[in-house]
Amino acid sequence: DPWELLLCIFTFAMVLVPEAKDQSKAAKGRRRGLTRPPTAAPALAWALDDPYTTMADYERSIQDMVRQLRNSSEPGDTKCQVNLRLWRSNRRSLSPWAYSINHDATRIPADIPEARCLCTGCINPFTMQEDRTMASIPIYSRLPVRRLLCQVLDDVGHKPSGKKCQKKYQMVMETIAVGCTCIF
């Protein structure tokens, strides 16, 4: 479904694409009493113009996100705390999360960023401390990937005995954690 693909790309891009320029411009505008609508992240420009993007474009965008994650100068993501100085929403959330790379050599793309909740509870916005009366849980999305699968069927649709497996990449949907949220 092209809309599900667009939603996946949008979710990843909004979290991993830094928008420090937009933040500083917005802060200047607020000081002057001006307001302006937020601009779309540059990485989303192609996706918003053409909802029927190719699989190659989608895979390239995931590779870009993995590259950003590997090259990130962000401090180690292991503490359950909110960092308001960072622009990325995953560290400003009341249910903060970090990304790790989900690697599977039999899948294209082989590397996909996957969210990992940093708190058991949620950050209380008044005390900025973890409150365990609430719970942080992952938000999952189904992403299209190509997986190396063995497919050998005879004319009737049964697996014939004695035939070798032909490995072929097939499109499948895979469930990946894309962020975290807080629940009561």
Give me the pLDDT at residue 153, please. Answer: 60
CA atoms of 111 and 34, how far apart (whole Å): 42
**What pLDDT is stored for residue 35 in this prediction?**
42
Among the listed residues 100, 182, 122, 111, the one whose alpha carbon sits nearest the alpha carbon of residue 145: 111
Our CA angle for 145, 65, 114, nearest 5°, is 60
Per-residue pLDDT of the chain (184 residues; tens, 9 = 90+): 444 444 444 444 444 444 433 444 444 444 444 443 333 333 333 344 555 568 888 889 999 989 988 887 665 667 888 877 776 778 889 999 999 999 999 999 999 999 999 999 999 999 999 999 999 999 999 999 999 888 766 556 565 566 677 788 899 999 999 999 999 9
Listing DSSP states for 52-106 in one string gives S--HHHHHHHHHHHHHHHHH--PPP--S----TT--SHHHHSSS-EEEEEEE-TT
Amino acid found at 37: P
Q: Could you give phi then psi for residue 24, rounded to 5 degrees?
A: -70, -35
Beta bridge partners of 122: 131
First-to-last alpha carbon distance for the chain, in angstroms, is 32
Query: Whole-prediction pTM value?
Result: 0.61
139 to each of 8, 58, 180, how far by Cα in Å? Answer: 12, 20, 5
The pLDDT assigned to 79 comes to 84
Domains located in the chain, CATH noted? 55-140+175-183 (2.10.90.10)
